[in-house]
Chains A and B, each alone.
Chain A
Amino acid sequence: MRILVLALLLGVTLDSLAASGRVFVTNEKGDSVSVIDTKTNQVVKTIAIGKRPRGIGLAPDGSAIYVAVSGENHIAVLDPATLEVKGSFPSGDDPEAFAVHKNGNIYISNENDAKASVIDPHTGKLVTEIEVGIEPEGVAISPDGTRAIVTSESTNMLHIIAIPEHTVVNSILVGARPRSATFSADGKLAYATSEIGGEVK
């Protein structure tokens, strides 16, 4: 299930670039990233990436693909042209999902730490950490870049974080186990899946 979701999300991201025609899928149990050519639907390369790769995302200028390597507490950087790993930087404990801000910064949920981390991938440095609820998972950034949402699965909340202040401005109770979150294109609505609660609000 997770793999499918990641494939879909990233597929949309890459298609919007209308460039590579490739889908990148993290294999959580296989410690690798599969690269699929969307014209042939064939795996063109399997890249060894490290233990338990989970979230995946693209730099705003398309120059890098980031992979959260949960089992090794870092973000690996893939070169989308060469399909080689070109570096990595620390991410905080157990990185799961993340979103890339249009300014390039990466917003990561640290599942075991009840925190979200903000990292500048160009320096590899931690910009800040933000306390959120237990088992943070989904991360979304509003199209205008002024808000991030982090879901906390065991606290049943969506935490709304102001950017650039990086303060939690609101925490909204939702149905059980909120996981993925996303904004509508105009930024006025946000959606989150509730794995157990199954609700419409």
Chain B
Amino acid sequence: MKHILTICLAALFLAACETVVEVKLPPHEERLVVHSLFEPDSLWRVNVSATTSSTGAQDPRLIDDATVEIWEGERLIDRLSPIGLGTFTSTTSRPAPEKMYTVRVTAPGFAVSEGAGAVPPAARVTAFEQHLVEEIASETFVQRTERIELTVDDPADARNYYGLQILQSRRLINNETGEITILPQSNLRFVSNDPALGEPDVFGAEKTQYKEAIFNDDLFNGRPHTFDFEIEYALSLRETEVTIERSFLVVFMAVSEDYFLYGKTVTLQNSTGDNPFAEPVHVHSNMTGGLGIFAGYRTEAFPVKINGVTEPRP
């Protein structure tokens, strides 16, 4: 139905005439935009850029001459170093779980921007099972559908937030030259009819397709819950010029509330941006004096067995 409505709306739009209009926006004052999603397994990393006016030709710019500091209370933990493209990293320090940190960013010509966040407690994953649902084989490839069941024991003390994604890694091996090309990690889509994952399909489909699911524990607060979802993938059987080696990692995340709100609002804004009749969505920000997100998360990763063999974690 979403498509039918889109077609009707499109018909209206096609009938419409477009003209450029001048809208008197107030003079734009640049603000810092700070982006940092941090976890205990990675060094501190913060991206800094600036806003730009919604009209005009100027793109938002990356800021390389900022000062980025990580504080824990009154104690300065680290001053991050610029590595270019608006990115600042630490060479030594990582966030510790369940400790509140503050990021403070200053740059010439900008107001100070600050935000606070912490890495939440780890999710209690108590079981991970994988079952082959279907396998269709031909001479050259096999296509598999795997069902994965992941059980989480949700604590009852507070509202918790989680994320789920499947990471796919691929290596291309040139069979003649032996050259190996490692492709960037990407998300493998998965399908599920579990309402706990949120964002159900607009209409009709029994199962919803996800690239990444971010959700809260409203439907399973304080008790164990088994997430049930399926993935599909194809494996090459016959060697041709290039062999593709694949591996998959199920990543279950515990995320902070700010992370959850940020992820939700970004998704909403992207999905409603083309609809002029939808109410605009503000992207969640926990930065004062600017925009952006400073939020923590933790991951539990589970490799997917292929051909009965667990592929090593890339």
Q: Do A and B bind each other?
A: no
Chain A residues at the B interface, C-beta cutoff of 8 Å: none
